[in-house]
């Protein structure tokens, strides 16, 4: 993945969540070291990907000419896949709206989506005052065409007034940043009292991850730098000023060929099946997946 981007030489010597030095390397993936903290059980990549490295990474990504890049474009930018992408966003948007329904009024509520991609979640809040930050320029520019308050940049640099937002979402993005604590603490600062944060990531403690180990499809450094569980997400929320307010496991809707493509990352013998499906109408048939491999957790600013 991301061929042409070197592996950073410097490594972390302690857990960034609890500070423990009792860390143990598990295995190598794509030249990176997946490590587990013996105290809090957080799993993360030991190699230090600084801000300059991430900027290079996400600038390089759109220029890839390999099959992986084409699949990336197909999943996120192909209009034919739009209804599949919006399936989970619609569910989350409904949960957020129900939370804030009693607080409705004449002034629009404010929502910030960190790592907003093409602005798909923001599309479900036409009556709210919405903002987004996206590091990848191609997707960020698409979001800009629909929503005026979009910034192309690192989510770490989100700089808004204190107590400004009613809700902040970080969907499929917190595991991409090199400083999740800063991102979540900064979000807490920018949220109003009793404001809500929603964080969506892969669940490293799901049964599929336990069965497949290093072949778990979500273990993709340097794109994914941290691998969370419900336990470590709760610990992160508490450390950043939030009270845990529930969670759910996301159901994904996707084309059959995409489901097989992702399965082939764990089971390579399925690669020919994926290639065959991608050339037929059968590959575009929608399927639904929920192995508890994706989790969304909610926190309320204390």
pLDDT tier at 64, thresholds 50, 70, 90:
very low
Read off the tokens for 216.
């778990």
What integer pLDDT is reported at residue 76 of this predicted model?
A: 64
This prediction's pTM = 0.92
Cross-sheet strand order for the sheet of 129-134: 150-152, 129-134, 110-114, 165-171, 191-202, 294-301, 242-249
**What is the tens place of the pLDDT at every residue in 170-198?**
999 999 999 999 999 999 999 999 999 99
pLDDT attached to residue 3? 57
Contact status, residue 299 vs residue 197, Cβ threshold 8 Å: yes
- Statement: residue 72 has pLDDT above 60: no
Just give the CATH number of 51-201+228-301.
3.40.50.150
Mean per-residue pLDDT, 257-284: 91
Q: Is the pLDDT of residue 264 over 50?
A: yes
Residue with tokens 């005026």: 148
Q: What is the 8-class DSSP label of residue 261?
A: H
CB 294 within 8 A of CB 175: no
Q: Which two tokens stand for residue 36?
A: 């587990």
pLDDT for res 106 = 66
Provide CB contacts within 8 A for 259, sequence distance 6+. 287, 289
Reported as type and span, the H/E element at residue 142 is helix 137-146
- The sign one gets for the Cα dihedral 65, 70, 71, 77 is positive
Residue 258 corresponds to which tokens in the numbers above? 């995409």
**Model confidence pLDDT, tens digit, residues 129-160:** 999 999 988 889 999 999 999 999 999 999 99
């Amino acid at each position: 993945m991301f061929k042409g981007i070197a592996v950073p030489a410097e490594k972390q010597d302690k857990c960034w969540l609890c500070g423990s030095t009792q860390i143990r390397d598990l295995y190598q993936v794509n030249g990176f070291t997946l490590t587990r903290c013996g105290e809090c059980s957080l799993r993360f990549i030991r190699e230090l990907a600084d801000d300059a490295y991430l900027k290079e990474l996400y600038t390089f990504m759109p220029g890839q000419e390999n099959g992986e890049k084409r699949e990336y474009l197909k999943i996120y930018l192909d209009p034919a896949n739009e209804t599949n992408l919006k399936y989970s966003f619609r569910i989350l948007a409904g949960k957020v709206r129900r939370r804030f329904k009693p607080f409705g009024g004449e002034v629009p509520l404010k929502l910030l989506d960190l790592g907003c991609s093409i602005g798909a979640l923001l599309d479900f809040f036409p009556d709210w005052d919405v903002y987004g930050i996206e590091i990848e320029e191609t997707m960020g520019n698409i979001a800009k065409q629909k929503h005026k308050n979009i910034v192309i940049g690192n989510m770490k640099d989100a700089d808004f007034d204190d107590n400004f937002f009613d809700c902040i979402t970080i969907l499929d993005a917190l595991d991409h940043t090199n400083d999740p604590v800063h991102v979540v603490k900064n979000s807490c600062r920018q949220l109003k009292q009793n404001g809500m944060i929603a964080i969506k990531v892969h669940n490293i403690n799901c049964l599929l991850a336990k069965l497949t180990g290093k072949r778990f499809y979500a273990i993709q450094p340097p794109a994914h730098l941290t691998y969370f569980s419900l336990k470590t997400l709760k610990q992160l929320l508490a450390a950043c000023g939030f009270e845990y307010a529930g969670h759910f496991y996301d159901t994904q809707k996707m084309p059959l060929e995409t489901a097989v493509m992702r399965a082939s990352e764990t089971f390579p013998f399925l690669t020919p099946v994926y290639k065959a499906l991608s050339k037929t109408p059968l590959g575009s048939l929608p399927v639904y997946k929920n192995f508890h491999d994706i989790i969304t957790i909610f926190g309320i600013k204390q």
